[in-house]
Structure 1
Amino acid sequence: MKVLAISSSIVGSKTRTAMNAVFEEFKKSYSTVEMELIDLAEMDIRFSDGRNYLEYEGDTGRITKAMMEADAIVIGTPIFQASIPATLKNLLDLLPANAFQDKIVSMVITSGSPKHFLIAEQQLKPILSYMKAQIVQTYVFIEEKNFHRKEIVNDDIFFRLARLVEDTVLLTETYKNIREAKEAQYEF
Structure 2
Amino acid sequence: MKIVAITGNVTRPSKTRALGEYALSSVPPGHARYLFDLVDVLPVLGTTLWRSEAPAGLATVLDAIQSSDVLVVGTPVFKSSMTGLLKHLFDLFEMTALQGKPVLIFATGKAEAHGEHVEAHLRSLMGFFKAEVRGDFIYAMDGDFPDSAPSAELRARVDRELARTLGHV
TM-score by structure 2 length? Answer: 0.90
Alignment match, 1:32: 30
Contact 2:11 2:39 in 1 (8 A): yes
Residues 160-171 of structure 1: pairs in structure 2 closer than 5 A: 160-171=157-168
User: Mind listing any 5+ residue stretches in structure 1 that lack a counterpart?
Assistant: 174-188
Secondary structure of residue in 1 paired with 2:45: coil
Aligned to 2:87: 89
Q: Report the CA distance between 1:142 and its aligned residue.
A: 0.6
What residue in structure 2 maps to residue 43 of structure 1?
A: 41
Q: Is the 8 A contact 2:119 2:137 kept in 1?
A: no
Superposition map of 1:109-128 within 5 A: 109-128=107-126
Q: Which runs of 5+ in 2 are unaligned?
A: none
**What amino acid maps onto 1:37 in structure 2?**
L
TM-score, reference length from structure 1: 0.82
- The residue aligned with 2:18 is 17
Aligned to 1:179: none
For 1:54 and 1:32, locate their aligned partners in 2 and report how far apart those are by CA, in whole Å: 32
Query: Where in structure 2 are the equivalents of 1:1-188 lying within 5 Å?
Result: 1-11=1-11, 13-26=14-27, 30-44=28-42, 45-47=44-46, 48-49=48-49, 51=50, 53-152=51-150, 154-171=151-168, 173=169
Tell me the distance in 2 between the aligned counterparts of 1:89 and 1:18.
19
How many angstroms apart in 1 are the aligned matches of 2:149 and 2:32?
25
Give 1:46 shift.
Answer: 2.2
DSSP 3-state at the match of 1:114: coil
Other structure's SS at 1:81 match: coil
Give the match's secondary structure for 2:136. coil
Q: CA shift at 1:57, angstroms? A: 2.2
**Per-residue Cα deviation, 1:27-70 (whole angstroms, up to 9, x for no partner):** xxx11221111122233342341x3x344222211111111111
Q: Deviations over 1:63-97 (max 9, x none)?
A: 11111111110001111111110121111111111
RMSD: 1.6
Q: Note the C-alpha offset of 1:164.
A: 1.7
Distance in structure 2 (CA, Å) of the matches to 1:32 and 1:149: 30
Q: Which amino acid in 2 is paired with 1:64?
A: L
Equivalent residues of 2:135, 2:161 under 8 A apart: no
How many aligned positions are there?
Answer: 166
Retained in 2: the 8 A contact 1:109–1:120? Answer: yes
State how far apart, in whole Å, the 1-side matches of 2:127 and 2:135 are: 11
Bigger mean CA deviation after superposition, 33-42 or 80-89: 33-42
**2: CA distance, partners of 1:19 / 1:34:** 15
Distance (Å, rounded) in 2 between the aligned partners of 1:11 and 1:37: 14
Q: Say whether the 8 Å CA contact 1:84–1:119 is kept in structure 2.
A: no
The percent identity for this pair of structures is: 23
